[in-house]
């Protein structure tokens, strides 16, 4: 019987120089979780451990019912979107998206159609032949979302992907991610420096401080808490 949880971290322990992090939680399929907390608290490290770019010293990572503790990033059912470095400047948007499917760019007709569809779904159809330098920052981030859509992995990790965008565009991108998440039942983890992003999009929010999750509950409950000095300091 398949386990319910899509992401399960069990007594995961990570050390890098003086920094240590510990995680033990479960996230269900289709959840939209935000991760907030001060700079250096370990938010990126958390995503990186799940994606397999960082290795924990001990503990277990289960993804989509499988033990993935030692799996390489490419074997994990995960797509990660970063703030930057999501596009290659010399390739047009179509090709940038297609790379998500085939790094060697050998695509059959069905795959080419899938690229077209992903571009259409993210509103980039008309810009397909432009280079990343010829579109806006928001449009460039759509390329990363289109690629994620094409990869169609059940876990989508977003590490401050919209940090460089203004509030209106951020909202628009969150709407897009939310729509895809609901449609595809993706499990989304969003690291954000903007508590309002968590409030807007996430059903549950984790608050991190010093490599630990101090609270992980419904977004509404989390923001109502007055008993966590670290959280009060962070939100201000
Ligand atoms: N591979 C690594 N290389 C360098 N530093 C690392 C690495 N892994 C973890 N660290 C350290 O881990 C700590 C947490 O960093 P991390 O980037 O996860 O925090 P963050 O909460 O995402 O911060 P920010 O909001 O500023 O992005 C930092 O002190 C960082 O120096």
CA of 13 to the centre of ligand 1 (A): 15
Q: What is the pLDDT of residue 141?
A: 84
DSSP states along 149-165: HHHT-SEEEEESTTTTS
- β-strands 58-63, 32-36 pairing: unpaired
**Number of C-beta neighbours around residue 40 at 10 A:** 13
Rounded distance between C-alpha atoms, residue 219 and residue 223, angstroms: 6
* DSSP code per residue over 91-133: S-HHHHHHTTT-TT----HHHHHHHHHHHHHTT-GGGTTS-GG
Who lines ligand 1 at CB under 6 A? Answer: 16, 19, 37, 39-45, 54
Overall size of the chain counted in residues: 236
Determine the pLDDT at residue 85: 63
From the list 57, 21, 79, the residue with the least C-alpha distance to 206 is 21
Rounded distance from Cα 43 to ligand 1 centre (Å): 8
**pLDDT given at position 4:** 60
Greatest Cα pair distance in the chain: 57
Per-residue pLDDT of the chain in tens (236 residues, 90 and over written 9):
444 679 999 999 999 999 999 999 999 999 999 999 999 999 999 999 999 999 999 999 999 999 999 999 999 999 998 877 678 889 999 999 998 888 788 889 999 999 999 999 888 999 999 999 999 888 888 888 898 888 889 999 999 888 877 888 888 889 989 999 999 999 999 999 889 999 999 999 999 999 999 999 999 999 999 999 999 999 88
Q: Where in the chain is the domain with CATH 3.40.50.300?
A: 1-77+154-236
Q: Are 192 and 208 in contact (CB under 8 A)?
A: no
Q: How far is the CA of 12 from the centre of ligand 1 (A)?
A: 16
Of 3.20.20.140, 3.40.50.300, 3.30.750.24, 2.40.30.10, the CATH number of 1-77+154-236 is 3.40.50.300
Query: What atom in ligand 1 is closest to the CA of residue 208?
Result: 21
Do residues 3 and 65 make contact, with C-beta atoms less than 8 angstroms apart?
Answer: yes
Report d(CA 74, CA 93) in Å as an integer: 22
State residue 3's pLDDT score: 47
List Cα–Cα distances, 129 to 107, 113, 170, in angstroms.
17, 15, 24
């Amino acid at each position: 019987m398949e386990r319910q949880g899509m992401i399960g971290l069990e007594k995961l322990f990570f050390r890098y120089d003086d920094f240590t992090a510990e995680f033990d939680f479960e996230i269900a399929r289709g959840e939209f979780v935000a991760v907030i907390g001060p700079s250096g608290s370990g938010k990126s490290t958390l995503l990186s451990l799940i994606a397999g770019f960082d290795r924990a010293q001990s503990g277990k990572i289960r993804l989509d019912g499988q033990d993935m503790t030692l799996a390489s990033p490419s074997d994990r059912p995960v797509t990660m979107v970063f703030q930057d470095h999501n596009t290659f400047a010399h390739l047009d948007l179509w090709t940038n998206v297609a790379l998500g499917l085939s790094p060697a760019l050998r695509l059959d007709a069905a795959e080419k159609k899938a690229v077209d569809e992903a571009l259409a779904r993210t509103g980039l159809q008309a810009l397909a032949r432009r280079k990343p330098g010829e579109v806006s920052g928001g449009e460039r981030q759509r390329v990363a979302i289109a690629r994620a859509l094409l990869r169609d992995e059940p876990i989508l990790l977003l590490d401050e992907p919209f940090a460089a965008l203004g509030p209106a565009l951020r909202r628009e991108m969150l709407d897009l991610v939310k729509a895809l998440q609901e449609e595809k039942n993706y499990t989304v983890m969003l690291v954000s420096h903007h508590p309002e992003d968590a409030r807007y999009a996430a059903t549950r929010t984790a608050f991190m401080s010093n490599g630990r999750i101090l609270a992980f509950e419904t977004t509404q409950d989390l923001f109502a808490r007055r008993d966590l000095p670290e959280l009060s300091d962070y939100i201000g």
